[in-house]
Amino acid sequence: MRKRNIAVEIIVNLVGWAMVLLLPFILFSYDRGRPAFQSERFSFSYFATLIFLPGFFYLNKEILVPRILAAKKTLTYILIVLVCFFVYLTIIHYLSMAAEDVKDYMRKNTWFKGPRYFQTGNMTLFLLVLVISTGSKVIKQWFTAEETRDEISKQQLQTELSLLKSQVNPHFLFNTLNSIYSLSVSNSDKAPDAVLKLSKIMRYTLEESLNDKVMLSQEIDFINSYIDLQKVRLTEKSKIIFTTSGNIDTVMVAPLLFIPFVENAFKYGISTHLKSTIEVEINAKGKDLYFVCRNDIVPGATKQNSTGTGINNTRRRLELLYPSKHTLTIKDDTVQYEVLLHINLEV
């Protein structure tokens, strides 16, 4: 955006100077049968224009428009422009009268009262400079306002993403501590190992989650660690299948994006008494990333007491991070809960 502002500024200035330098040869009156600068009338008018109009151009662009017109002092602005307009015409008028070829013409034509005050070419050139200088400042201010709005929008987006990400860690920790608590209550010898695995997991959430993106392979290692932690409380009746494929070592993805779905599967799809299965698949194909998480619905498991914080946060993060570049489908029936997520990672 800033580069575009600079480019517009340069173009406008070039156009303004080109108008002042070239248009007098088209708009001013002089004998077309000989070079323009052989006419004193043209020469005086040209150099007066070369001095006056660039000054008015920058006066209008840098002072009148931003300080007076922008402050809604329209009448004051119009009066100042009119004063500049008549000053310019007056200068050109008297310089034209002082020109040698005009005085010669007056001697030959006693009825001639001097050059006309309102010359079409002079007025046209002044109005063009007025329009270009005013328009350029308005456009520049519009671009600046757009740039400011974009910056504010980015800051708000980053703030919301940071908030959502910060909510993932406590939510994840809460669920994991519940698992360790159940091991401690039952005096399981698996509890110490579970604490070590939790330490590894929390290190990842504290360090890597600070980044906007991580390698997909790192996120997979994190999910594996989480699954290993959950396995310490499972029985042989539970079956966990986690498969990955594709270019997982070259793809980058937002951190902690899949774990809420995996957490949900363990929370509502595992039973210590009945056979239950959880399947998690991650497949990276070029710039397309596919995530699938399926779990059996355990009879008696209820979600009425669940706030759904993790899933809702993930939905929102997907909307912010991958707008129009992801598809999230959740199928929930009486037998199976399935999450299908496709992300287009192309920048």
Going by C-beta distance under 8 Å and a sequence separation of 6 or more, which residues neighbour residue 286? Answer: 247
d(CA 265, CA 280): 9
Structure confidence at residue 103 (pLDDT) = 52
300-316 pLDDT tens trace: 655 544 546 678 878 88
70-122 pLDDT tens trace: 888 989 999 999 999 999 888 888 887 776 555 555 555 544 444 567 788 88
- For the residues 184-203, what does the mean pLDDT come to? 78
Indicate yes or no: pTM above 0.85.
no
Beta-sheet strand order (sheet of 326-332): 238-246, 276-285, 288-296, 336-344, 326-332
Specify the range with the lowest mean pLDDT, choosing from 47-61, 192-206, 220-234: 192-206
- When the pLDDT of each residue in the chain is averaged and rounded to a whole number, the result is 80
Answer yes or no: is pLDDT of 322 > 70: yes
Amino acid identity for residue 305 in this structure: N
Quick one: pLDDT at residue 110? 46
Q: Which of 282, 293, 200, 289 is nearest to 252 (CA)?
A: 289
Give the number of C-alpha atoms closer than 13 A to the C-alpha of residue 98, restricted to the C-beta side: 10
Residues 258, 313: contact at Cβ < 8 Å? no
Question: Is 215's pLDDT higher than 80?
Answer: yes
Residue with tokens 């200035």: 13
pLDDT at 1 over 60: no
- Return the C-alpha torsion angle 80, 84, 89, 91, nearest 10: 140
φ and ψ at residue 300, rounded to 5 degrees? 95, -15
- Burial class from Cβ neighbours inside 10 Å (0-12, 13-18, 19+) for residue 283 reads middle
Q: What percent of the chain has pLDDT over 90?
A: 21
Domains, the chain, with CATH or none: 2-150 (no CATH), 188-344 (3.30.565.10)
Confidence class of residue 327 from pLDDT cuts 50, 70 and 90? Answer: very high
What are the φ and ψ backbone dihedral angles of 145, each rounded to 5 degrees? -65, -40
